[in-house]
């Protein structure tokens, strides 16, 4: 079965290169989605729709295998440690309260990897809404950046839209919608933009991790913040410029 899995995944890479018009010996950015809640499933499904090979993993391997089998041959299920070993980009699609433990437990496996934080540090407020579990002026990515070791690079992405919009707005036929991202690593930007494009969105870099609060829940560039909806790239650039002007004049 292991040989069959590797052959299938290799075939999906060849299919990706053909459909994207890439050279035969070029390969897509390898990515593993760890955790298959609503967000993890949405990200993996969008990548598969964009013909991008993706590895999925969960503490329950059977859950990951069943999910992969229902999507396409470009989605392969693996055990968590193997999934991280084989990918350049790791997306822990787990809650903020669990990520600290994840980063500690798998510190060696995450060495030199690009880690995409999709989390939002919120919990229900008991009144039908949500509240932050960290300081008002803190961001999840900024908190987590202090736990990144061994040359790994942190990116904030894929969490700027609610999961419903992340699914429904992907590959918008009228005008592609935007996913913002933040990172201090300029070397990581090509891979991140490739993944966002293959997920059916336009990428827009807003700056370093110190700007990540803007694309988390309640931020000025989040769907559940000042922005209020998914926006086109042109609208996103206007919103970003307006926000910078407001901050500068605050």
Domain that holds residue 63: 2-20+29-248
pTM score, whole prediction: 0.88
CA pair distance 87, 54, nearest whole angstrom? 9
Nearest to residue 34, comparing CAs of 62, 12, 20, 55? Answer: 55
pLDDT at 169: 97
Q: Are 152 and 115 in contact (CB under 8 A)?
A: yes
Name 189's Cβ contacts closer than 8 Å, sequence gap at least 6.
183, 205
Whether 74 and 52 have beta carbons less than 8 Å apart is answered as yes
For 195, the enclosing helix (H) or strand (E) is helix 189-198
C-alpha dihedral over 176, 182, 187, 190, to 10 degrees?
A: -10
Domain count of the fold of the chain: 1
List per-residue pLDDT tens for the chain, 250 residues long: 444 444 455 555 555 554 555 544 468 999 999 999 999 999 999 999 999 999 999 999 999 999 999 999 999 999 999 999 999 999 999 999 999 999 999 999 999 999 999 999 999 999 999 999 999 999 999 999 999 988 999 999 999 999 999 999 999 999 999 999 999 999 999 999 999 999 999 999 999 999 999 999 999 999 999 999 999 999 999 999 886 645 544 4
Here the tokens at position 199 are 């997920």
pLDDT for 2 equals 46
The pLDDT assigned to 242 comes to: 81
pLDDT of residue 248: 47
Give SS3 for 109: coil
Give Cβ neighbours of residue 248 (< 8 Å, ≥ 6 apart): none
Q: Check residue 27 and give its pLDDT.
A: 85
Within 72-150, residue ranges assigned H as helices are 80-86, 96-105, 140-145
The two three-digit tokens of residue 42, written as one number: 């949405």
SS3 letters across 151-179: CCEEEECCCCCCHHHHHHCCCCCCCCEEE
CATH number for the domain spanning 132: value is 3.40.50.720
Listed residue (243, 242, 188, 235) closest to 211, CA to CA: 243
Task: Using alpha carbons, select from 111, 110, 71 the residue that is nearest to residue 91.
Answer: 110
Question: If you count DSSP H runs as helices and E runs as strands, how many of each does the chain have, helices first?
Answer: 9, 10
Helical pair 38-49 and 61-71, crossing angle rounded to 10 deg: 30
């Amino acid at each position: 079965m292991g040989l069959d899995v590797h052959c299938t995944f290799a075939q999906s890479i060849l299919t990706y290169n053909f459909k994207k018009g890439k050279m035969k010996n070029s390969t897509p950015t390898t990515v593993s989605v760890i955790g298959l809640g609503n967000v993890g499933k949405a990200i993996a499904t969008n990548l598969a729709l964009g013909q991008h090979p993706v590895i999925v993993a969960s503490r329950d391997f059977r859950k990951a295998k069943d999910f992969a089998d229902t999507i396409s041959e470009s989605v392969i299920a693996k055990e968590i440690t193997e999934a991280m070993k084989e990918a350049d980009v790791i997306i822990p699609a787990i809650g903020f309260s669990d990520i600290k433990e994840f980063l500690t437990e798998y510190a060696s496996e995450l060495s030199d990897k690009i880690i995409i934080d999709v989390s939002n540090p919120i919990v229900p407020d008991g009144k039908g809404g949500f509240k932050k579990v960290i300081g008002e002026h803190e961001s999840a990515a900024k908190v987590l950046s202090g736990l990144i070791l061994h040359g790994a690079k942190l990116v904030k992405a894929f969490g700027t839209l609610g999961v419903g919009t992340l699914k429904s707005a992907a590959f918008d036929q009228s005008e592609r919608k935007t996913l913002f991202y933040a990172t201090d690593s300029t070397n990581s930007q090509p891979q991140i933009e490739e993944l966002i494009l293959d997920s059916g969105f336009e990428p827009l870099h807003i700056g370093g991790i110190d700007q990540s609060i803007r694309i988390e829940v309640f931020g000025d560039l989040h769907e559940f913040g000042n922005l209020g909806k998914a926006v086109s790239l042109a609208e996103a650039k206007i919103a970003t410029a307006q926000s910078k002007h407001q901050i500068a004049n605050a």
